[in-house]
Amino acid sequence: MRDSWIVKDEVRDALGAGRPVLAFESTVLTHGLPYPTSRDLALRVESVARNRGCVPATIGIVDGVIHVGMTPEEIDRLAGNNSACKASGYDIAFVVASGRSAGVTVSGTLAIAQRAGIHVFATGGIGGVHRGASETFDISHDLASIARSQVVTVCAGAKAILDLPKTVEYLETVGVCVLGYKTDTLPAFYTADSGIPLAYRVESADEVGDAFMAKRRLGFGGGLLVAAPIPAEKELPPDEINQAIEDAVELAEEQGVRGKALTPYLLAQLAEITGGRSVEANLALLENNARVGAEIAGSISRELAAEARRGELG
């Protein structure tokens, strides 16, 4: 049987030496942004991580093989593959068994990162409770995955196309601790402030690292979600983007778009309605999340090294 799991040498070496590694998902390559913008973005966020002393590990599936860390050529191949599907935590095994290529979602990336031993994952926005979920029961698998993962997830809040108040309530229900990164309210992806208050605020990566280590020592479950707002100079006017979202949702309902196809459809409609400015905002928040994620990964790496030294000293 062929190998269905490849960890890039650079990633394996960093993990073995206790150096910081930051995971990235790949649905932004296959379903989030147009090619070649998607490819260029992936390389840019990897560069952001490297510049902060962190080894990047973009996670994707190519021809039925899970890649933990991808070469620029592999990233380009996956980004340009129009037949690539989306793989979540619950269907990765089928995608691998069928030999398909896939962009890996938040839930899938968390599962793979945890198995690989990576402690921090940066993405744009997580999935959540869709508008109209009381009728459709459309709730992203991301939320349950974050709740049971030991990996810290860094995001710019949930995607603004979702029902944000219900998403926050659902996160609490399933056991996710949400930390506002230098903010008291949940970021709304394209805008910095949704107006939804958060119970906890942190001012530094070290505070997140301390929370991760405390949870680890106590043996407690439950996810840690770090919500970092889009940089103020890059956010879109709330009234404008909210109207654009309403228009996009209405179009999706008219076209009967549902399930895994819904989020990519809505993002594409927003790009068209805003004249590409939603894509520019998406790029900015992803780069910012890569910076925050790399700093958190560095903090956790230092904490784990110190813990190991204390253990050696008895």
Tell me the catalytic residues: 25, 159
Q: Answer whether 120's CB lies under 8 Å from 152's CB.
A: yes
Tell me the CA end-to-end span of the chain in Å, nearest whole number: 44
For 226, the token pair is 């770090």
Give, in order, the Cα–Cα distances in Å from 224 to each of 26, 149, 154, 218, 235: 21, 8, 9, 14, 25
CA nearest neighbour of 152 among 194, 86, 207, 91: 207
Tokens at 197, concatenated: 């208050």
Burial of 255 (0-12, 13-18, 19+ CB in 10 A): exposed
